[in-house]
Amino acid sequence: MPDLHPDLAVLAPLLGTWAGAGAGEYPTIEPFGYREEVTVGHIGKPFLTYSQRTRATDDGRPLHAETGYIRLPAPDRIELVVVHPTGVTEIDEGTLFVDRGGLAIEVDSTSIGLSGSAKSVTALSRSFRLTGDELTYTVRMAAVGVPLTHHLAATLRRQLG
């Protein structure tokens, strides 16, 4: 495997596979639990690769997946470029905070693309916190006429091996 691009050294703690559980809710749906796996990798270029998939905790059915890239245009700025199989694309931009405890990322959508059959999503906002081998996040969403509101929260742990 090629070396991590030097511009991404601060994000090295994100590399690997993360798994855990989360809970989702939204005013238009019933609350649900899910199991999740996230993989963050690289190919030696100035971006990280990102893939995510979830399954329902009650019966194991697939729920959601997304894939994309993580970019650092400046030392304290971060971008997520994500595509969803539901016909939604998102570009999120925000701030990367680095401290002795780990990393914190706050991003908001600057662009949402929708295919003709996609549900109307108008905004997304994500918060991540990495402390040691624990990655937590929340997602807020504005969609189908509902303003930006809490949608997802999960705690993932680094998978060894």
Annotated binding site for heme b: 28, 119, 151
**Positive or negative, the Cα torsion across 60, 25, 85, 8?**
negative
Using DSSP, state whether 70 is helix, strand or coil: strand
Q: What three-state secondary structure class fits 120?
A: coil
Q: Which residues are annotated as a binding site?
A: 28, 119, 151
Half-sphere exposure of 114 (CA within 13 A, CB side): 10
Q: What separation in angstroms does the CA of 67 have from each of 40, 100, 101, 140?
A: 10, 29, 27, 18
